[in-house]
Amino acid sequence: MPPLKPYEKDRNLLSPNRNIAPITATVNEQGKLCIGGCLLSDLAKRYGTPLYILDEESIRTSCAAYRESLDKFYEGSSLAIYASKANSSIAISSIIKSEGLGLDAVSTGELITAMQGGIDGHSLFLHGNNKSQEELLIAYNNQATIVIDNEQDINILEAIVPKDDKKAKLMLRLTPGIECHTHEYIRTGHLDSKFGFDPDKIEEVFYRLKDCKWASLEGLHAHIGSQIFELQPHQDLAEVLVESMLLAKRIGHEIKDLNVGGGLGIKYTLSDDPPTIQDWIKVVAQAISKACQDRGLGLPRLICEPGRSLIGSAGLTIYKVGSRKIIPGIRTYLSIDGGMSDNPRPITYQSEYSACLVDKPLEPPEENVTLAGKHCESGDILFKDLAIPHSNFGDVLAVFGTGAYNSSMGSNYNRIPRPAMILVRDGGSDLIQRREQPEELLRYDVLPEHLRALM
């Protein structure tokens, strides 16, 4: 790989998803990489590795880009809500709250994390294709909007919502039948999907909900995928959503909200070319506006759900270089002190990233290495051909674009503790998730008495 050059960012400053590194990335006078005014090699010494690092300014800039673009390009009311499955923590939820965004959750854990971070129930949305009674009750009791995904959601709510009490606020998720050029595992908009009601079921569901005195159907939702670089599919989505809105109106539902989901991609490698947040919002806003105008409908509140595009480029992970194995004429394996437990996306999705040695970010490459994780798995490979300057044992290496779906999808494979996560800003750093300790991995183990007796 050529030198990363994450610092050539003037044209992308207001849309962090267009940068490989966080927008605060700089090289100091000694030629060493800094993020948020913090020297990465110093952070490795202070907090240890592997270490997740989030740049607060990049997160806030992305929030502002969504919020301000909606205000600029959409004449109706609007709300951006953070898809917290990308990276969920109390600290992140607090930032989201302070930036005026809402949040969507898909589990009890994400719900209570959001609320602990200050997210109000009126700005909270519950998703999921198999919601438990507990999850639905928490959402209902906190006046969150429940995105119904199937008949089971309706059946459970019908049984648990108290009669003659406040109504459950509902948003109906539909499967729009729109394909995007993305990984098959993250295509959620086509008809063969586990998510949402199929189009031929929508009318039936509208009629059923019309007779439910406990429910208030306030919105429609659709999502067409993730890591999307195309804009045309979102124009198509607007037509589907607004047509469904018109059908709901004919049946007697006043739809206030249209949620177009998220899915905007980020720049993981030099060849990636995602649209800016501003361009994405402009296309979505104009498409919804035109579709409503064509059908004589007033503008609903426009909701979008950025996850990866809001936080992905704000994050990076730093590792220490470990063992080296040279197979002459074939490859050189360079191992790091983390891998698939802190970043499962390469082995799961064959995802690609960018990386550099933090104290040699601009030096020309001298070797091609296969960057291997430390797990007992042959597929635990983060890079197959990574061109970097020569490295030594203990050098610190940064992998960019890990703010989304790394910590949240991580595991304790091989009983390896999860990394710490820190937030950097203005030369300071704060711990927002502490590093797990090996003995903590035993906290849920139970040794039956008959086995204890054999010890």
Q: How many Cβ atoms sit within 10 Å of the Cβ of residue 347?
A: 18
Identify which of 66, 110, 67 has the alpha carbon closest to the alpha carbon of residue 86. 110
- In the set 34, 63, 180, 376, the catalytic residue is 376
Q: Is the separation of the CB atoms in 59 and 82 below 8 Å?
A: no
The yes-or-no answer on residue 376 being catalytic is yes
**Strand positions, DSSP E, 242-346:** 257-259, 301-304, 315-327, 331-336
Written as one string, the DSSP assignment of 139-188 is HHHTTPEEEE-SHHHHHHHHHHSPTTSPPEEEEEEB------SS-GGG--
Q: Residue 380 and residue 42: Cα distance in Å, rounded? A: 27
Q: Does the N-terminal peptide bond of residue 419 adopt cis geometry, omega within 30 degrees of 0?
A: no
| 36, 56 contact by CB (below 8 A) | yes
Count of Cβ atoms closer than 10 Å to residue 360 Cβ? 21
Q: Report helix, strand or coil for 429.
A: strand
Amino acid at 61: T
Q: Which residues pair with 126 in a beta bridge?
A: 105, 146
**For residue 408, which of 51, 88, 27 has the smallest C-alpha distance?**
88
User: Sign of the CA dihedral 302, 299, 150, 217?
Assistant: positive
- Strand 26-27 and strand 124-126: pairing? unpaired
- In angstroms, the CA 221 to CA 149 distance is 10
Q: So which residues are the catalytic ones?
A: 376
